[in-house]
């Protein structure tokens, strides 16, 4: 007998605003450092470390090591597709800055989903 996937655990992992912000930042397709993700989520580096551990343990993130540096990326295309689908369900959040608003608009229009163009252009 196979165990059912724990949807509640995944929901809890993405339900925190800081973790959700990190995941949205990674939808751009690039692997980022903990420091970059901390800034994107507006949290301290130590707080980001705990959030990244939660996201990694839940299977949403993968870690790439390059020398002394660790880069975080979405664990796969299915994670990106699920996050994309979920972003369409929630109410829009106000932009924190003009630059952030412009970047979000551009990413939404042409988002790279690992092996194809997605968003409004896909």
Give the mean pLDDT per block of 10 residues along the chain (122 residues): 83 95 94 97 96 97 96 97 89 67 57 54 53
Domain boundaries 7-121, CATH class: mainly alpha
CA pair distance 3, 19, nearest whole angstrom:
26
At 92 the pLDDT is 77
43 Cβ contact list (under 8 Å, min separation 6): 18, 51
Residue 87: its pLDDT value, please?
Answer: 87
Whole-model pTM: value is: 0.75
Give the relative orientation of helices 17-26 and 34-41 as an angle to the nearest 10 degrees.
Answer: 120
């Amino acid at each position: 007998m196979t165990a059912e996937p724990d949807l509640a655990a995944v929901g809890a992992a993405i339900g925190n605003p800081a973790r959700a912000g990190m995941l949205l930042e990674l939808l751009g397709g690039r692997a980022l450092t903990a420091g970059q993700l901390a800034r994107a989520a507006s949290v301290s580096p130590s707080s980001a470390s705990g959030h990244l551990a939660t996201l990694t343990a839940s299977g949403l993130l993968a870690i790439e090591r390059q020398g002394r540096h660790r880069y975080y990326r979405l664990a796969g295309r299915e994670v990106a597709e699920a996050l994309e689908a979920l972003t369409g369900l929630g109410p829009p959040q106000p932009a924190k800055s003009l630059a952030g608003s412009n970047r979000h608009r551009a990413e939404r229009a042409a988002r790279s989903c690992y092996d194809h163009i997605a968003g409004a252009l896909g």
